[in-house]
């Protein structure tokens, strides 16, 4: 992964900051690390709104004191299925303009919300557990949802939401989902060049504040606890959410999960690929 000079300087500054804080207060150092880990560096608050979003019904609701904003394209076909689109970290609903076009052409009702701290929604931080609770709230307020399309951390969040919703009739598409939080932490620790002792402190801080170890926050774990028709698409060249994390769950051969492996698309090109977009829309159509 290549970084600009400015990015390398910022990474070095954060690494030094965390190591200094650790000397005075390990707990504060771990909390400071997690604060950065859950902070989007891109929010897209000033992004230009694609034309199709001007045709949408604007929606919003309060979630833990933050206003969560979204959009709905309502089908004029009675009884049309409803699909929710969930973006990933450092992204927003606008990025999924093409999916909205394709789904509305097939007479789906489409919902797309900006997660907390992203796009037009309020907040500064986001993690998969909070995102999952937001998805449950969307289900309760604007559902029932017939399908969910989710990318990256949105995929992990969807798996946590489905554990609570547990509706076998739902159709779930996971595009390059964040599979293991432990792997995401590993990547972040390598990026900041922090020692193993720091990692142990962060593990303890997660368990102290959340009551569960980092390994619990796992898409592979969660998919065992709900039944749905799942299409899981992942690329072998994904450097953000490693393909290797999916191997164990693939080997288990759960009958309700269809895995599709791609190569050369990485983490973000995969959801923008026209062939993948068609595959996803066809999957949702076939399940109706």
Q: List, for residues 24-34, the tens digit of each pLDDT value.
A: 666 787 888 88
We find that the CATH architecture of domain 44-180+218-286 is 3-Layer(aba) Sandwich (3.40)
**More confident: 15 or 204:** 204
DSSP 113-150: EPPTTSTTS--S---HHHHHHHHHHHHHHH---SEEEE
Chain centroid to CA 1: how far? 21
Strand partners, 160: none
User: pTM, whole model, 2 decimals?
Assistant: 0.92
Asked if 176 and 233 count as a contact pair (C-beta separation under 8 A), the reply is yes
Sign of CA dihedral 200, 206, 207, 212: negative
Residue 152's region, left for phi above 0, alpha for psi from -120 to 50, else beta, is: left
Asked if 227 and 168 count as a contact pair (C-beta separation under 8 A), the reply is yes
Sequence spans of domains, the chain: 1-37+185-211, 44-180+218-286
Helix (H, G, I), strand (E, B) or coil at 12: helix
Residue 12, pLDDT score: 63
Q: What is the DSSP letter of 176?
A: S
Q: Above 60 in pLDDT, residue 17? A: yes
**More confident: 56 or 286:** 56
Q: List, for residues 126-182, the tens digit of each pLDDT value.
A: 999 999 999 999 999 998 999 999 999 999 999 999 999 988 889 999 999 999 999
Asked if 60 and 70 count as a contact pair (C-beta separation under 8 A), the reply is yes
């Amino acid at each position: 992964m290549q970084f600009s000079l400015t990015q390398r300087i910022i990474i070095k500054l954060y690494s030094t900051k965390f190591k200094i804080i650790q000397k005075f207060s390990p707990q504060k150092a771990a909390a400071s690390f997690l604060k950065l880990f859950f902070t989007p560096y891109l929010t897209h608050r000033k992004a230009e709104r694609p034309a199709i979003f001007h045709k949408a019904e604007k929606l919003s609701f309060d979630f833990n004191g933050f206003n969560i904003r979204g959009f709905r394209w309502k089908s004029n076909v009675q009884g049309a299925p409803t699909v929710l689109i969930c973006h990933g970290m450092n992204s927003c609903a606008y990025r999924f303009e093409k999916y909205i076009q394709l789904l509305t052409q097939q007479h789906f009702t489409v919902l797309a919300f900006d997660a907390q701290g992203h796009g037009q929604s309020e907040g500064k931080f986001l993690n998969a557990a909070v995102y999952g609770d937001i998805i449950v709230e969307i289900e309760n307020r604007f559902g029932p949802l017939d399908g969910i399309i989710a990318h990256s951390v949105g995929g992990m969040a969807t798996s946590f939401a489905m554990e609570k919703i547990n509706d076998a009739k739902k159709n779930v598409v996971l595009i390059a989902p964040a599979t293991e939080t432990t792997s995401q932490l590993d990547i972040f620790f390598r990026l900041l060049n922090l020692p193993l002792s720091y990692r142990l402190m962060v593990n303890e801080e997660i368990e102290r504040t959340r009551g569960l170890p980092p390994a619990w926050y796992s898409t592979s774990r969660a998919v065992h606890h709900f039944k749905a028709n799942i299409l899981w698409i992942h690329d072998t060249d994904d450097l953000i959410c490693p393909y290797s994390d999916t191997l164990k769950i693939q080997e288990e051969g759960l009958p309700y999960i269809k895995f599709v492996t791609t190569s050369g698309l990485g983490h973000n090109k995969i959801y923008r690929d026209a062939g993948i977009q068609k595959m996803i829309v066809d999957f949702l159509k076939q399940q109706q």
